[in-house]
């Protein structure tokens, strides 16, 4: 196994779509045919527009196959006393193919992601950790946060 690490480009979109769907199946247990079709319809345009600007995909590649991915969504908001330049990142959809898990790929991708965020000038990077991912993120330096606000959502 000779893993190469890098940042995905538009040439990688098809593989990123397949990994996104695999992530959703892994995270939710299954997806419906309707959900798969909707993702396959929306994701090519989304990745074409956002990849490399607002969405940075850190990848591990084995013989041309992307086997692990971690996304950094770069968000700009009005500056405040915590984010003076208004820039922060949100980690999305960290996923490794099952046969490549436990080999340190995710740890390496996340270190690359954090280094990129620091160099880009992000004020912070947020993520929501699964039980499996928690020890990896903790080891890299992520800390649990105490929220002053209650997380809420409205669905349409």
pLDDT tens-place string over residues 45-76: 999 999 999 999 999 999 999 999 999 999 99
The per-residue pLDDT of the chain, averaged, comes to 95
Backbone angles phi, psi at 24, to 5 degrees: -65, -40
pLDDT given for residue 74 in this prediction: 98
Paired tokens of 6: 């890098």
Paired tokens of 124: 């912070």
- Is residue 2 very low, low, confident or very high in pLDDT (cuts 50, 70, 90)? very high
Backbone angles phi, psi at 4, to 5 degrees: -110, 140
Paired residues of 57 in beta bridges: 71
Which tens digit of pLDDT belongs to each residue from 109-137?
A: 999 999 999 999 999 999 999 898 999 99
Paired tokens of 90: 């949100």
Paired tokens of 46: 């989304």
Cα–Cα distance measured from residue 46 to residue 12, given in angstroms and rounded to the nearest whole number? 13
Sheet holding 65-76, edge to edge: 3-7, 55-62, 65-76, 87-96, 125-126
Paired residues of 59 in beta bridges: 6, 69
Helix (H, G, I), strand (E, B) or coil at 20: helix
pLDDT given for residue 61 in this prediction: 98
Residue 151 clears pLDDT 90, i.e. is over it: no
Pick the CATH number of 3-140 from 1.10.10.410, 3.40.50.150, 3.60.150.10, 3.40.630.30: 3.40.630.30
């Amino acid at each position: 196994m000779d893993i190469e690490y890098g940042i995905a480009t538009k040439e990688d979109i098809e593989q990123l779509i397949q990994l996104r769907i695999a992530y959703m199946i892994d995270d939710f247990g299954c997806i419906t045919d309707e959900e798969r079709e909707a993702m396959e319809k929306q994701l090519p345009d989304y990745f074409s527009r956002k990849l490399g600007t607002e969405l940075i995909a850190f990848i591990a590649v084995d013989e041309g196959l992307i086997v692990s991915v971690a996304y950094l969504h770069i968000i700009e908001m009005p500056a405040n006393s915590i984010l003076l330049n208004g820039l922060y990142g949100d980690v999305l959809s960290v996923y490794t193919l099952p046969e490549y898990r436990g080999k340190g790929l995710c740890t390496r991708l996340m270190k690359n992601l954090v280094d990129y965020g620091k160099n880009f000038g992000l004020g912070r990077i947020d993520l929501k950790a699964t039980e499996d991912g928690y020890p990896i993120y903790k080891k890299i330096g992520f800390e649990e946060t105490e929220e002053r606000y209650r997380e809420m959502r409205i669905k349409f």
